[in-house]
Structure 1
Amino acid sequence: MVAASESLVSDGLPLSRVAGVAYARPMDRAPADSALMLRYQDGDIAAFETLYRRHNDALYRYLLRRCQHRAAAEDLFQEVWSKIIKARADYRPTARFTTFLFRVAQNCFIDYVRSNKRHAQTIDIEPESQPHPGEQPETATERRLARRRLEAALQGLPDEQRDVFLLYEEAGFSLEQIASITGCKRETAKSRLRYAVKKLRDAMNEPAETL
């Protein structure tokens, strides 16, 4: 059987993604993630590649914004999928596959932080510099500055609040799923998200709204 990682490389799937401003919520898909993972257990490489294509964007954006360093995010991205591949025999559909995937991602990031205490000081993310079609230069400049303010505000959040915010906005998880991934209660996740949103809105000089 050809290793999944080799198959992905041969398909030329891109590993780098630039985080966008708009966040897309995941849509219901068929077959279900858990069914694909069980098929992968039985040796169906195509099932794994479907899972990869389905979730690689959200996973990479999450890791990129957590690390704030492109090379580190790409390394962690590879590490997460490698762990998923190695753990396929032990996978049980007791929770959503995305919960399983992002719990692995969070653990990989925690290990990264422990081994690299200066990770937050090595920022290597440059907001997109290309103007949108038909966009005036002044508007493009304002958008770039807004993105920089947002990135700086994200970095200023406590780790717990930043993690909950990114899981909610980047990955589209519900509060229940976030609580499961982070190991906290739903109300704790909701409180962290509320505080994160308020701080970010204050930093962006936007009026606060009720979450």
Structure 2
Amino acid sequence: MQPTDEELVTTYLEEDDDQAFRQLVERHQDRIFGYLMGMVKDRAVANDLFQETFERVIKAMQGRRGSYNHQGQWLSWVMRIARNAAIDHTRKQKKWKDVSTEEEDDRSFWDTLEDDSPYADEQLHRAEQREWLDEHIEKLAPEQREVLLLRQETDLTFREIAELQEVSINTALGRMRYALKNLRKMMEGSDETALVGTLDS
């Protein structure tokens, strides 16, 4: 039976067990990176922010007045740090509304999702769908886009998302509803409209 996040945190803090911390990172790295990628749209920047996030995490956990107090889920706490790192970056770039990149190998965060399709044509179609959907998501208001990313990339509950955004649960739910509603409007009359249904969960 796998240890819980809290058990791994306790082992790391009390026994200085780096392996326990490594397990925590490996368990959640895809979610955290996926969120950062969705926020900044640049793989190199997302990698830098991922490293910065865990530098902050280690410093906070090991400091004399560590800010992690076991009162909440570890992932939610780390996501708050990742969110702050992303916001700090976008503020510095003065591009909070839409951060873009010109790197040739930049990929949509949807491309980080596994695709086990054995057929090349189906893979291409799915890649086109993800790219097309990603373009529409970029047009959403920043707070709506972030709720969508947090929900889909990290599987955080709406209560946890609300805490991260420092809003009520109803506000977080409302932002998600508006995000889906606006996506449907943008996709109205298109064959890709059904894609929105995959996000509505």
Please name the residue that 1:135 is paired with. 119
User: Bigger shift: 197-206 or 174-183?
Assistant: 197-206
Secondary structure of 1:177's counterpart equals: helix
Are 1:34 and 1:97, in contact at CA under 8 Å, matched by a contact in 2?
yes
Are 2:6 and 2:74, in contact at CA under 8 Å, matched by a contact in 1?
yes
User: Bigger shift: 152-161 or 116-125?
Assistant: 116-125
Please name the residue that 1:45 is paired with. 18
Q: Percent of aligned pairs with the same residue?
A: 31
- Residues 114-153 of structure 1 aligned to structure 2 (within 5 Å): 114-118=91-95, 120-122=99-101, 124=103, 125-126=106-107, 128=111, 133-135=117-119, 137=121, 139-153=122-136
Structure 1 residue 208 displacement after superposition: 7.0
Please name the residue that 2:4 is paired with. 32
Query: Normalising to structure 1: TM-score of the pair?
Result: 0.77
Larger proportion of helix: 2
- Residues 3-152 of structure 1 aligned to structure 2 (within 5 Å): 30-42=2-14, 43-89=16-62, 90=66, 91-118=68-95, 120-122=99-101, 124=103, 125-126=106-107, 128=111, 133-135=117-119, 137=121, 139-152=122-135
Is 2:172 the counterpart of 1:189? yes
Structure 1 residue 206 displacement after superposition: 2.8
Structure 2 unmatched ranges of 5 or more: none
How many residue pairs get aligned? The number is 180
Aligned partners of 1:136, 1:111: CA distance in 2, in Å?
Answer: 40
Structure 1 residue 123 displacement after superposition: 5.7
Structure 1's 189 and 75: CA in aligned 2 closer, same or farther, altered over 3 A?
A: same
Secondary structure of 1:120's counterpart equals: coil
Off by >4 Å, runs of 4+ in structure 1: 207-211
Structure 1's 200 and 88: CA in aligned 2 closer, same or farther, altered over 3 A?
A: same
Aligned partners of 1:86, 1:207: CA distance in 2, in Å?
Answer: 41
Are 2:140 and 2:179, in contact at CA under 8 Å, matched by a contact in 1?
yes
Structure 1's 149 and 40: CA in aligned 2 closer, same or farther, altered over 3 A?
A: same
- CA-based RMSD of the aligned residues comes to 2.3
Please name the residue that 2:157 is paired with. 174
